[in-house]
Structure 1
Amino acid sequence: MTEYQSDLLRLMNDRGYIHQLTDAAALDSLATKSIIPGYIGFDATADSLHVGNLVSIMLLRRLQQAGHKPIVVMGGGTTKVGDPSGKDEVRKLLDDEGIESNIASIRACFERFLTFGDGPTDAVLVNNADWLDKLEYIPFLREVGRHFTINRMLTFDSVKLRLEREQPLTFLEFNYMILQAYDFLELSRQYGCKLQLGGSDQWGNIVNGMELGRRIDGTELFGITTPLITKSDGSKMGKSVDGAIWLNADRLSPYDYWQFWRNTDDRDVGKFMRLFTDLDIDEINRLESMQGSDINEAKKILADAATSLAHGEKAAEEAAKTAQQTFEQGGAGGELPVHVVESNEISMLDALVAIGFCASKGEAKRLIAGGGARLDDEPVRDAGHLIVLTNKGVKISAGKKKHGLLRKA
């Protein structure tokens, strides 16, 4: 195992963040002697980030915990182009108003994970539209474009995979890697930024930015990438059968977020604790060694810690309490999703679709036929069952993990 001298690289290495890094010895030495400003870029393609972005957010948190300066770069400019990495088709382009609205919504998420301010290690949030929107095309091509060869750009996975799959890659998207490299150069000039961090799919883009800084300004820059975060079953981190696990509470309730972590595979508990919580390493080692039913207690600790970071301790406590009432005491916790029915009755099929447990009546029929639908914890096996509501309301369940309440208007 590599022995690092700096708190920064030791912290990142011990918690499993490092996949690739450039000139480890030089970066390690620099991190022991000075505050390193480091950045990660986030495109504003939606009004919330999701768990797939969480490792990047935690990287910035670790950077700050180790005494360095996080720079959050919102891609107000690059979102207008679209990162082709991992995509088989052209992204839908957003207008300026939509991008600004998304950035405003996302901003609050970072404030829960990072300390912002004017101090030397306080985080800052910047928008790359501030410099990219001002570029003049011909001068930019002459100053920056000449440092990129088409031959090399065609070797990058984000380009190569699209071409191999015979999917269209627009000239607009083809420029993305140049603009991201220019971001690193501009951040180096404006903020003294020395480090770019990102997922393993960003390695080529990071190296491009480092080389651009060296060629134009003679500046030594560094890069770190994380491994692809997958679950033990091989699926990509951040996705569930119901879609993205959003970080904003208006997109996904703190209770559902808590449940996502509570349902972690036994094999992933330790890894996810290292990556996504601030729990002490020794405590993590103890918890992940638990066997049998005891590992469920470790999962609750993981869920509490992860939810506290994203939504606050109070929200985590309420989610845990609701889960206990729902699963352990057989009740209906107060944080469960609620569907208000306008009349006194609703069919089981309509109820499962209306509350969001099934995408269609066909899916609801299959759930009922398989014995997975319940009312007040009693199985319902008749697809034509009519639910008559009382003032108290009815608890509706789909499988072992989805629970909600039906109430009269």
Structure 2
Amino acid sequence: MDLLKDLEYRGLVNQVTDLEGLTKQLEEGKITLYCGFDPTADSLHIGHLLTVLTLRRFQLAGHKPLALVGGATGLIGDPSGKKAERTLNEKEIVVQFSNRIKEQLSQFLDFEGENQAKIVNNYDWIGNLDVISFLRDVGKNFGINYMLAKDSVESRIQSGISFTEFSYMILQSYDFLKLFEQENCRLQIGGSDQWGNITAGLELIRKSTDEQEKAYGFTIPLVTKSDGTKFGKTEGGAIWLDAEKTSPYELYQFFINTDDRDVIKFIKYFTFLTHEEINALTEEVATAPEKRSAHRKLAEEVTKLVHGEEALKQAIRISEALFSGEIASLSAAEIKQGFKDVPSYVCEEEEIGLLDLLIASKIAPSKRQGREDIQNGAIYVNGDRVTDLEKVISKEDRIEGQFTIIRRGKKKYYLIKYSS
């Protein structure tokens, strides 16, 4: 199946500036395309993954992807989709963020072979651009009325937009022009909120070059959830691609808990499963939703893609241990992942009575309640029920000498750490 038909099947085609022309261009041979990623944080988040994987799909189809890290535009701030002015980061911070994002992009694109990807940084051409040249050679190509009509600007007129963010569209357009000239880049892709910036870039290319070859713009739908909540957000915040910010277990749980209404859509978006495999899972969701086969497959594929096979196995082990209650089977590293957000308490004592520990850690509100919980079988230590009021928590109850997991009732977990 050709690339555009596959993208349409997956629901990844939102807008194309010239679908017929792009189709012909793709059929005739290899093209170079790019997508930009501004370093506004030290990690990409799950929302970025869709465009990264779309670059990967183009590469697998024989085309050359450029991943642009916005070392310059990251200092300015894109107003697209924002209701208020961004907080500007210092140059040193943006450089640090840029380097981290380069590392993450390298996980998903192939930098060897015939269609090898390339990472570019727009600070290389914008950083040395003097203001006179910028205004005369670039700015003169943009009419104020044209810019005001773009959604990213128009939506901010009432609340206010600075000249800094107003100029972002011109800088992104200049990126497209430079890559068109230097890398023979003919296509820019991005989320649907980038349509105005992309078409402005095409306009700048048209006005600034004598090239007869056309350039194209292509946008991907922004990811939405059927229940109306924002994709990629949890109570703990954004879902990041950095394992230190969002653990593989948390990523796995995020996708395995996908709403039934969204699971096939997300499989099409975020996996490289074949159409036959996706159609089979679609049928199973319709006929046997209780098996949750599609949810598991989605969680497995994305976790493996982002963090690797070993991290996926670890995420599954943590999930199974929590489901079965066999906490003692987990390693200390897995405990850190699985119990990252549960209440914790640092114990100073080498040994401590279980009842005293329940009080000190505020697991039980009083000694009376603590005694009742133990006697009624509501307290578990590392997955094992304890009913002995005289139970002492010692070094033998520490997992790899670091943690003890207390469970009260069916679902309330507490992490006990040790100072020595």
Pick aligned residue for 1:217 from 195, 204, 209: 209
Q: Per-residue CA shift, 1:248-299, capped at 9, x if unaligned? A: 1111111111111111111111111111011122111111332455442321
Relative to the length of structure 1, the TM-score reads 0.84
| Paired position in structure 2 for 1:101 | 96
Mapping of residues 113-128 of structure 1, within 5 Å: 113-117=108-112, 119-128=113-122
| Paired position in structure 2 for 1:408 | 418
Give yes or no for contact 1:389–1:408 (8 Å, CA) kept in 2: no
The whole-number CA distance in structure 2 between the counterparts of 1:397 and 1:263 is 24
The whole-number CA distance in structure 2 between the counterparts of 1:123 and 1:50 is 21
Relative to the length of structure 2, the TM-score reads 0.82
| Paired position in structure 2 for 1:131 | 125
Give yes or no for contact 1:396–1:406 (8 Å, CA) kept in 2: no
The whole-number CA distance in structure 2 between the counterparts of 1:13 and 1:191 is 27
**What displacement does 1:337 show?**
3.0
- Provide the aligned length of Structure 1 versus Structure 2: 371
The whole-number CA distance in structure 2 between the counterparts of 1:85 and 1:349 is 50
Assess, with a 3 A threshold, how the Cα gap between structure 1 residues 396 and 49 changes in structure 2: closer, same or farther.
Answer: farther
Q: Per-residue CA shift, 1:307-329, capped at 9, x if unaligned? A: 01000011111111211111145
| Paired position in structure 2 for 1:176 | 168
The whole-number CA distance in structure 1 between the counterparts of 2:28 and 2:163 is 43
The whole-number CA distance in structure 1 between the counterparts of 2:360 and 2:294 is 36
| Paired position in structure 2 for 1:381 | none
Amino acid at match of 1:343: E
> What is the root-mean-square deviation in Å for CA atoms of aligned residues?
2.6
Assess, with a 3 A threshold, how the Cα gap between structure 1 residues 211 and 340 changes in structure 2: closer, same or farther.
Answer: same
| Paired position in structure 1 for 2:389 | none
| Paired position in structure 1 for 2:156 | 162
State the structure with more CA Rg. 2
The whole-number CA distance in structure 1 between the counterparts of 2:59 and 2:414 is 39
Assess, with a 3 A threshold, how the Cα gap between structure 1 residues 198 and 351 changes in structure 2: closer, same or farther.
Answer: farther
Q: Percent identity?
A: 42
Give yes or no for contact 2:46–2:232 (8 Å, CA) kept in 1: yes
Q: Per-residue CA shift, 1:104-144, capped at 9, x if unaligned? A: 21222212211113x44111101100000111111221111
The reply to whether residue 21 of structure 1 matches residue 16 of structure 2 is: yes
The reply to whether residue 337 of structure 1 matches residue 334 of structure 2 is: no
The whole-number CA distance in structure 2 between the counterparts of 1:303 and 1:282 is 19
Assess, with a 3 A threshold, how the Cα gap between structure 1 residues 237 and 322 changes in structure 2: closer, same or farther.
Answer: same
Mapping of residues 36-185 of structure 1, within 5 Å: 36-117=31-112, 119-164=113-158, 166=159, 168-185=160-177
SS in 1 for 2:261: helix
Bigger mean CA deviation after superposition, 174-183 or 133-142? 133-142
Assess, with a 3 A threshold, how the Cα gap between structure 1 residues 280 and 395 changes in structure 2: closer, same or farther.
Answer: farther
Mapping of residues 310-389 of structure 1, within 5 Å: 310-331=306-327, 333-334=330-331, 335=334, 336-337=338-339, 341-344=346-349, 376=380
**What displacement does 1:195 show?**
0.4
Q: Per-residue CA shift, 1:134-161, capped at 9, x if unaligned? A: 1111122111111111112112121111
The whole-number CA distance in structure 1 between the counterparts of 2:409 and 2:165 is 42
Q: Per-residue CA shift, 1:357-398, capped at 9, x if unaligned? A: xxxxxxxxxxxxxxxxx96499xxxxxxxxx96542124589
Bigger mean CA deviation after superposition, 72-81 or 322-331? 322-331
Amino acid at match of 1:44: P
The whole-number CA distance in structure 1 between the counterparts of 2:359 and 2:150 is 51
SS in 2 for 1:218: coil
Runs of 5+ unmatched residues, structure 1: 1-5, 353-373, 379-387
| Paired position in structure 2 for 1:297 | 293
The whole-number CA distance in structure 1 between the counterparts of 2:360 and 2:262 is 35
The reply to whether residue 278 of structure 1 matches residue 288 of structure 2 is: no
Runs of 5+ unmatched residues, structure 2: 350-355, 364-377, 383-391, 398-403
Pick aligned residue for 2:405 from 386, 394, 404: 394
